[in-house]
């Protein structure tokens, strides 16, 4: 059984690391569309086309189930893919829903009407495309009422992380948190709506203050995937673990190795 993990770049490795630890018996095929990253500044149609192309490659690699470990793709392309593109014998899932379920304290598959929850003021940090899609607010409205969401488009953070410039990334995080807090001075919770951002979680937490609960996605997605595979044993797929990229395999391998602090070797997609 092989499960596909897709991201426009290396941020999805935070999800891969978590799901590998949670499901050590499952092989994963990771695809980074490094040649076209970042997605966060692209149009919705462009993101849709690129995501479909990447997911097709993962289907070809033997994956019946693909996780879009990219919030931008999940926000801008997933619903359209599920409604009009995904083959009947395949599944493509995103990373928003497990996070929202955790924040609203709902179990997976709880389709009861939306209700009031403890969290009232939520800060969302995400890429410009994710913010523009309003996908987070849409999914949240299915599950909760009375929650005020203030979104901050965090331009430049993904590029800085991908370039390995963590000093710039930290400065940008603090700048974006300051901008958010001018609009929402006292959030109850903060959503790190990009799979790159867990690498900066400590900086987000420090800038926001210890009384703000910060929700990050990797471990939540891992638990949700484990539950999904128990309930859908038919989504097995075939193939062995692999790392694929549309970019320069050597450069991407070097950055990924620094990213996860273990040897990662990418091949051309």
Burial of 110 (0-12, 13-18, 19+ CB in 10 A): exposed
Q: Do 267 and 243 form a contact (C-beta atoms < 8 A)?
A: yes
pLDDT given at position 39: 93
Residue 236 has pLDDT above 70, yes or no: no
Measure the CA–CA gap between 137 and 34, rounded to whole angstroms: 28
- Residue 24's CB is within 10 A of a number of other CB atoms, namely 7
The H-or-E segment that residue 31 falls in is: strand 28-32
Are 163 and 178 in the same domain?
Answer: yes
* Residue 206 is labelled as binding a ligand: no
- State both tokens at 92: 């493509």
Query: What total number of domains does the chain contain?
Result: 2
State mean pLDDT over 142-146: 93
* Residue 7 is labelled as binding a ligand: yes
Are 195 and 206 in the same domain?
Answer: yes
Dihedral sign (CA 258, 259, 264, 268)? negative
Measure the CA–CA gap between 225 and 231, rounded to whole angstroms: 10
pTM strictly above 0.75: yes
- State both tokens at 41: 């500044």
Are 12 and 81 in the same domain?
Answer: yes
Are 63 and 126 in the same domain?
Answer: no
Are 76 and 174 in the same domain?
Answer: no
* Residue 89 is labelled as binding a ligand: no
Helices (H) and strands (E) in the chain, counts: 12, 12
Are 211 and 227 in the same domain?
Answer: no
Q: Which among 215, 242, 260 is the end of a domain?
A: 215
- State both tokens at 201: 């979680």
pLDDT given at position 6: 98
Beta strands in 46-198 (DSSP E): 65-68, 91-93, 115-116, 121-126, 144-145, 148-153, 189-192
Are 198 and 229 in the same domain?
Answer: no
Catalytic positions are 70, 194
* Residue 232 is labelled as binding a ligand: no
Are 169 and 117 in the same domain?
Answer: yes
State mean pLDDT over 248-256: 95
Q: Where would I find the H helices in 61-165?
A: 71-76, 78-84, 96-103, 128-133, 135-141, 157-162
* Residue 265 is labelled as binding a ligand: no
Are 153 and 47 in the same domain?
Answer: no
* Residue 64 is labelled as binding a ligand: no
Give residue 61's Cα distance to chain centre: 21
pLDDT digits (tens, 9 = 90+) for 69-109: 999 999 999 999 999 999 999 999 999 888 888 888 887 66
Q: Which among 171, 200, 215 is the end of a domain?
A: 215
190 phi, psi to nearest 5 deg: -130, 135
* Residue 74 is labelled as binding a ligand: no
Are 209 and 228 in the same domain?
Answer: no
Are 106 and 56 in the same domain?
Answer: no
The whole domain housing 11 covers 3-95+218-268
Measure the CA–CA gap between 82 and 228, rounded to whole angstroms: 17
90 phi, psi to nearest 5 deg: -125, 165
- State both tokens at 268: 């051309």
CATH number of the domain where residue 223 is located: 3.40.50.1860
pLDDT digits (tens, 9 = 90+) for 60-75: 999 999 999 999 999 9
Are 61 and 159 in the same domain?
Answer: no
pLDDT given at position 108: 62
Q: Do 18 and 223 form a contact (C-beta atoms < 8 A)?
A: no
Q: If we measure between CA atoms, which residue out of 72, 99, 70, 100 comes closest to residue 216? A: 99
* Residue 72 is labelled as binding a ligand: yes
pLDDT given at position 16: 95
State mean pLDDT over 216-232: 89
pLDDT given at position 101: 87
4-8, 57-61, 181-185, 195-199: the lowest-pLDDT one = 195-199
102-106, 166-170, 220-224: the lowest-pLDDT one = 102-106
């Amino acid at each position: 059984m092989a499960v596909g993990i897709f991201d426009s770049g290396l941020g999805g490795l935070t999800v891969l690391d978590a799901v590998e630890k949670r499901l050590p018996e499952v092989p994963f095929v990771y695809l980074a569309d490094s040649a076209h990253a970042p997605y966060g500044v692209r149009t919705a149609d462009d993101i849709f086309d690129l995501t479909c192309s990447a997911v097709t490659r993962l289907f070809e690699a033997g994956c019946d189930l693909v996780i879009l470990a990219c919030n931008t793709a999940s926000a801008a392309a997933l619903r359209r893919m599920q409604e009009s593109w995904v083959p009947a014998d395949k599944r493509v899932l995103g990373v928003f829903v497990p996070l929202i379920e955790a924040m609203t304290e709902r179990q997976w598959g709880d389709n009861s009407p939306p209700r009031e929850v403890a969290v009232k003021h939520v800060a969302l940090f995400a890429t410009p495309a994710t913010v523009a899609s309003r996908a987070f607010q849409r999914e949240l409205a299915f599950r909760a009422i009375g929650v005020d969401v203030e979104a901050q488009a965090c331009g430049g953070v993904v590029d800085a992380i991908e370039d390995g410039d963590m000093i710039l990334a930290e400065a940008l995080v603090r700048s974006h948190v300051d901008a958010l807090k001018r609009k929402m001075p006292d959030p109850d919770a903060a959503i790190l709506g990009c799979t790159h951002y867990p690498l900066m979680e400590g900086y987000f937490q420090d800038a926001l203050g210890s009384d703000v609960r910060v929700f990050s996605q990797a471990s939540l997605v891992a638990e949700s995937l484990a539950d999904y595979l128990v309930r859908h044993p038919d989504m097995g797929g075939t193939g062995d673990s692999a790392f694929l990229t549309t970019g320069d395999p050597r450069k991407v391998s070097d950055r990924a190795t620094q990213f996860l602090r273990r040897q990662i070797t990418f091949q051309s997609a």
